[in-house]
Structures are given as structure tokens and as C-alpha cells.
Structure 1
């Protein structure tokens, strides 16, 4: 009987220890989740002011880029980032042949990874400041325009964004042969969603702005 009681007591003790450890683990995980969430929210907050130190006037530019990317890194294209753009371009090229001219128009094929020397030059040319909002710092868009959100900026700078803008540029150019414009429209119709086409057109027409200069 004593052995049974001892065994039961030992089992209950072990269960208690296990539960206590599990609770501690859950508490630790909750704290880590809260910390990571807070860190994410901080990194995604604010707007970014970029100053061109080589200019004396109209040298401050503001965008919806948040704190986490308000640095010279936004101007640098790494080789891995370039590879992502090129891979996405090839996917579109293989899937929608009518996008070929739009790809050429997009400028993707002329992109190059930023060199170490170019990075140093960019660091000496630009400074960056996080602001609560562009508007509070005196940056105002016209009534017919608005800032692009950070997610919209990311899309516009992606391969899809660049190609959609290229297609919109070709389609809107009345001096080009109709066949070229038809292929561009076909590219837009077959490859892009309505919101992508609207965003590309809005950016081309300066109605959706990645950044604006302080007047």
C-alpha cells in the first residue's frame, strides 16, 4: 500500500512539474509573441524622409516607407533581390508571350546589382529621417493625387509592377503602331488583375505617388 501511495505521489509530482514547465513555456512563448508583434508594429510605423545633400533646394522627399526601411537600403538592389525580379520576369515572359515588349519597356533587363562603391556614394549623398507622417512634415499631395501605401510601393518596384507600368505606357502611346498597343493591352488583360492595372496606371499618371518633394 505504501508503495502504491509513494508511486502515486511520485506520478502526481511529476505531472505537477510537467504542468508547471508547460505553463512557463507558454508564458515564455506569449512574451516572445508580444515582443515580436511590438517590434513588427514599430518597424512598420512612420513615414520616411529622404534628403539629397547634393541639392540646395527641393531636396527633401517623403514616402510611406516605414521606419524599418527608412535607410539607404531602399536605394540598394542586391544580387538576390535582382534574381527574384529576373525570375518573376521570366515566369511572366514564359506564361504570356504578349508581354515581351512590355518587359523591354519596363527596364528590368537593364537593372544591375548595386556595387560596394555605389553603395558608399549613396550613403554620402542621402540622409534619412523617420517622420510620424509626411503630412505633418509639410508634404502635401494635390487634390487629384495621393501617396502610394508601402505595400503598393513594394508592388510597383516588383517585376509585376514594372511590367504592368511598361504595358500601360505602350498602350497609352498613340504614336506606336496599333499592333504594339494591342499586344500591350493583351499583356495587361491576360496577366494582371484589375487592381494591378489601376495601380500601374495611377502611378504612370502621377496620381499615385511613391514619394513627393517638399515644395
Structure 2
């Protein structure tokens, strides 16, 4: 009986230790989650002011790009980023044949990864700083226009965004043959969602702006 009691006591002690360890681990995981969430929110905050140091006037541009990307990297296209764009383009080409002309017009296929020399040039030509908002720094949109959100900027700079913008341009160009315009419209209707078409058109018409220059 004594051995049994000792055994039960040891078992309860082990269970208690495991429970305590589990609670401690859970607490550490919660702290880590809070820390990562806070870092993410901080990186997603603010707007970005880009200054072209080679210009003496009208050299400041503001966008909704947040703190986490308010640096020279926004001007640099890496090989891995280019690979994603080209893969997405090939997917669209294979899925929607009427998008071929829009793909060519978009310039996606002629994109090149940024060279080291170009990167160094960008670093010397541009400076970046984070602002709470563009508006508080004196950047104001005119009536009927607005800033593109960061999510919209990401889409506009993607393969889908570039191709949709090209298709919108072709479909609206009355100097082109009707067959070209019909293919562009078919590309838009078969490949793109309504919000994508609206965003592409708004950007083409300068109603949804990626960035604006300081007046």
C-alpha cells in the first residue's frame, strides 16, 4: 500500500510538471505571437516619401507603401520576383489565349532583374522616409482621384495588374482595329475579376494613383 501511495504521488508529480511545462510553453508561444503581430503592424504602418535627390524641385513623391517597404528595395526587381511575374504571365497566356496581345503590350516579357550597378545608382539617387500619412505632409489628391492602397499597389505591379492595364488600354484605343479591341475585351472578361478591371482602368485614367508629387 505504501509503495502504491508513493507511486501515485510520483505520477501526480510528473503530471503536474508536464502541465506546468505545457502552460509555460503556451505562455511563451502567446508572447511570441503578440511580438510578431506587433512587428507586422508596425511594418504595415505609415506612408512612404521618396525623394529624387537629382531633382531640384518637384522631387518628393508619396505613396501608401508602409514602413516595411519604405526603402530602395521598392525600386529593385530581384530575379526571384521576376520569376514569379514570368510564371504568372505564362499561366495567363496558357489559360486565356486572347490575352496574348495584352501580355506583349504590358512589357512584362521584357522585364529584367535589377543589376548591381542599377541598385547602387538607385541608392545614390533616392532617399526614403516614413510619414504618418501623405496628407499630413502636404500631399493632396485632386477631386475625383485617390491614393492606391498598398494592397492595390502590389496588384498593379504584379503580372496580372500590368496585363489588365494593357488590355484596358487596347480596348479603349479607338485607333486600333476592332478585332484587337475585341480580343482585349475578351481577355478582360475571361481572365479578370470586376474589381481588377476597375482598378486597372482607374489607374490608367490617373484616378487611382500609386504615388503623387509634392506640389
Where structure 1 has 5 or more consecutive residues not aligned to the other structure, the ranges are none
1:16 CA drift (Å) = 0.6
CA distance in 1, matches of 2:145, 2:91: 32
How far apart are 1:101 and its partner, in Å?
Answer: 0.5
The root-mean-square deviation of aligned C-alpha atoms, in Å, is 0.3
1:95 aligns to 2:105 (yes or no): no
Q: Deviations over 1:65-124 (max 9, x none)?
A: 000000000000000000000000000000000000000110101100000110000000
Residue aligned with 1:89, SS: helix
| 2:61 counterpart of 1:61 | yes
1:115 corresponds in structure 2 to 115
Listed as ranges, the gaps of 5+ residues in structure 2 are: none
Q: Report what 1:81 is aligned to.
A: 81
Q: SS of the counterpart of 1:140?
A: coil
- State the Cα deviation string for residues 166-200 of structure 1 (Å, max 9, x = none): 00000011100000000000000000000000000
Paired residue for 2:134? 134
Q: Normalized against structure 1, the TM-score is what? A: 1.00
1:149 counterpart residue number: 149
State the alpha-carbon separation in 2 of the partners of residues 89 and 185 from structure 1: 18
Deviations 1:33-89 (A, max 9, x none): 000000000000000000000000000000000000000000000000000000000
The whole-number CA distance in structure 2 between the counterparts of 1:144 and 1:104 is 31
